Amino acid sequence: MEGSGTWQGLILVSIVTWICLSSYLKLTQKVRSLVQPWVARQVVGGVPLILQIQKHQSGVLDAFFSGLSCVVSVPFYTAFLPLLFWSGHGRLARQMTLLIAFCDYLGNCIKDIVSAPRPSCPPVRRITATKDEEDNAMEYGLPSSHTLNTVCLSGYLLHYVLSSFEQEESCIQYYGFALACLLVSLIAFGRIYLGMHSVVDIIAGLAIGVLTLGLWLTVNEKIDDFITSKQNVSSFWTALSFLLLFAYPTPENPTPSYEYHTAFTGVALGIVTGVQQTYSQFHHEGAPRIFSPELPVTAYLGRVVMGIPTILLVKFCSKSLAKWILPTVSNTLGIPIRSTTYIPKLKLDKGYANGKNTDETKNSVGYSQKLCDFLNQDSFDIDTGIRFVQYAGLAWSVVDLVPSMFSYFNL
């Protein structure tokens, strides 16, 4: 790919320019002031339809839609993707990983820009299917992330399956399309039934999902070719991931959306760097696949038994190292930091959290403070860096460390 350094540089410069302009012009606040009133009216106007749907409630429907909601949730994707990588379907797994990361970023950005209030409960009956939904039920809004993800992932999976057939039969295409539409319809209806989204959220999720899927199908081949090439992949993706942590709108009220974005951005970085380094060994198209003579079910189960504890251990170690290294580095560089979850000391020690506990940091904090002021922050949340490193290490172990162990033990 000739001139790859040029377009990589243009992309990074464009993102930096966007961050500076949007921060200086306060674009998030301006867009929110224009869109939020309309969305709020649509949310209120959709309450009667939600109540009409919830009149048909039953224990069976509650369990069915709650279970279906868990199947398309972020925790399910996080657990499913390692199994897909280890089954030999590396191309599908890495494409789904990047697609989830993109959908998560896009959907949460729009959601945190709008920040419209949810229908009150009561009168709307709200059923939480997971612990994350229980803690953050009032945060869900336009668009429906479940609907957006379902449209994109089911559509891409259908495309992947159909493209794997040498001769595509029309009946397979029709049945596959009907099955994908049925899944999307059930998810969309279930989100309304559970009281987690209003009608405008679902419509927005469907529309954005279709547009995102169409865009992804036009560029996924080029993205995959780039990831498996040697064109500054790791360095470019590291810089891109770091910038994306800043290229995110500030919500009107604190939400967990940025945490999901940080986690999946780290996952994408770990997957990309790991695959780029070990593509020819473990992730090429000729890699053994499950149910083949080279990878029987018994060997695959052995991979799962060995792999799951290993990636959990790497996740724990990555988090511990990040909690130790990142505050020390930040303090040395005079970067003002705080912690809301991981480091209790940074919640209480204001001097340390602001990077002013040593003479060295006092000399260098001026430049960092200027950056904080420009980005409208008094300090940086060190939890973001810890979470990012934690999930990047987890994802790297899935595609690099663990497959190396499989090779060593002939699994």
Distance, in Å, from the CA atom of 255 to the CA atom of 139, rounded to the nearest integer, reads: 6
Say how many CA atoms lie within 13 Å of 128 toward its Cβ. Answer: 12
8-state DSSP, 116: P
Q: What share of the chain is helix, strand, coil (3-state, %, to 5)?
A: 75, 0, 25
Q: Which residues on adjacent β-strands are paired with residue 292?
A: 295
Distance, in Å, from the CA atom of 138 to the CA atom of 118, rounded to the nearest integer, reads: 6
Catalytic residue among 146, 261, 283, 284: 146
Q: Is 105 left (phi over 0), alpha (psi -120 to 50) or beta?
A: alpha
Cis peptide before 403 (omega within 30 of 0): no
The vertex-272 CA angle with 232 and 261, nearest 5°, equals 115
Six-digit token string for 182: 């049925």
Is residue 58 helix, strand or coil?
A: coil
**Catalytic residue flag (residue 283):** no
- Cβ atoms of 92 and 228 closer than 8 Å: no
Helix (H) or strand (E) holding 337: strand 337-338
**Catalytic residue flag (residue 261):** no
Is residue 381 helix, strand or coil?
A: strand
Q: Is 223 exposed, middle or buried (0-12, 13-18, 19+ CB in 10 A)?
A: middle
Catalytic residue among 56, 89, 159, 197: 197
Q: Is 26 left (phi over 0), alpha (psi -120 to 50) or beta?
A: left
Rg, the chain, Cα only = 23
**Residues annotated as part of the active site:** 146, 197
